[in-house]
Amino acid sequence: MDYQITFNIMSHKIGIVGEGVSDYLILKHIVERYLRDVDVYTIPLKPKINHKGKQDGYGTWQGVFDYISGSDQLILEAISEGCRYVIIQIDTDVCESYDLKKDITDLPAFYNSVKDKLASCVHPDFDIDKAIFAVCIHEIECWLIPFVSSDIAKCTNVDRCLNILNRNVRTIGVIDKENKHCDAAVAVYEKILKNKKKAKDIYAVAQFNYGFQKFIEQLDYIKERLISAEVAYTDTEN
C-alpha cells in the first residue's frame, strides 16, 4: 500500500485517530469516497502508518484516549498539521472497561454515552466542533457486513461481526482476529471495501448500524460546510 497523498489548493485534510491500521483503512475509504465531491483526503494521526502501510505504535482505546486528551500533546498536532476536522474512532466492544455500560436496548442513549465520554476527554485547546465521532457498535467490522451480504439479520447484527464477515468472505481470504492489522488481513479489507465505492451505496449500507448512520450524518454536515468554504474562496478570487 502507498499512503502518499496528492492534493490541489482546495483539498481538505481530515485526520483520523483510531484503534489500528485496519480501522484507518476502512474510514479512509468511507470518507474519501463519500466526500469525493469536495475533494477530501485523510491522514493517520493515531496510530501512525508508514509509507508501507505498517502501523507505528499502538492504537486501542487507551491509545485513542491518550491522544485526544493531550497527555502526550499530540492532539495539538492536528491543529499544526492543518486538519479541517479530526475523526475519533472507537469500537464499543470493550467499553465496560472504561466505565460505560454496554447496553444497546436504547441505541441512541448508548451511542451518546460513548460519544460524550470521548468528547469529555478531548484536550481543551482543541475545538470540539472540529471532531467527528466514529462510534462503532460494537466493532467496525459490523459496518462492513452489508458490503458483502444482503441478509438483513446479518447486516443489523452487532455481536461477533468479524466471525460473520469472515464466513461471507472465505473465498477471498480470512481476517485473523488476533492480527487484524497484518498484510493478509488488510488485503481482505481492501477487497471488501471495493464493493461499495459510490456515495449513494455507502449511504445505503450505513443505515444498518446506528453508529455508522450517525457517522454519515456528520459527514453530510461537514460536506455542507466545506462546500460553503469553497464557494467563499471562489468569491474572493473573482
**Torsion sign across C-alpha atoms 45, 41, 30, 178:** negative
In a domain, 25, yes or no: yes
In angstroms, the CA 236 to CA 158 distance is: 48
In angstroms, the CA 234 to CA 236 distance is: 5
Instruction: Give the cell for residue 6.
Output: 496528492
User: What is the SS3 assignment for 53?
Assistant: coil
In angstroms, the CA 166 to CA 110 distance is: 27
In a domain, 113, yes or no: yes
In a domain, 166, yes or no: yes
* Structural domain boundaries, residue 184: 12-230
Instruction: Give the cell for residue 77.
Output: 498536532
Would you state the pLDDT for residue 2? 45
pLDDT band at 51 (very low <50, low <70, confident <90, very high): confident
Instruction: Give the cell for residue 137.
Output: 457498535
- CA 211 to each of CA 6, 11, 109, 114: distance values in angstroms, whole numbers, following the listed order: 30, 27, 11, 10
In a domain, 107, yes or no: yes
User: What is the SS3 assignment for 15?
Assistant: strand
In a domain, 237, yes or no: no
Each residue of 134-183: pLDDT tens digit? 999 999 999 999 999 999 999 999 999 999 999 999 999 999 988 898 88
Would you state the pLDDT for residue 142? 98
Does the pLDDT at position 61 exceed 80?
Answer: yes
In a domain, 1, yes or no: no
Predicted structure pTM score: 0.91
**Torsion sign across C-alpha atoms 64, 67, 68, 74:** negative
In a domain, 211, yes or no: yes
For residue 118, give the nearest of 218, 221, 200 by alpha carbon.
218
In a domain, 93, yes or no: yes
Instruction: Give the cell for residue 203.
Output: 449511504
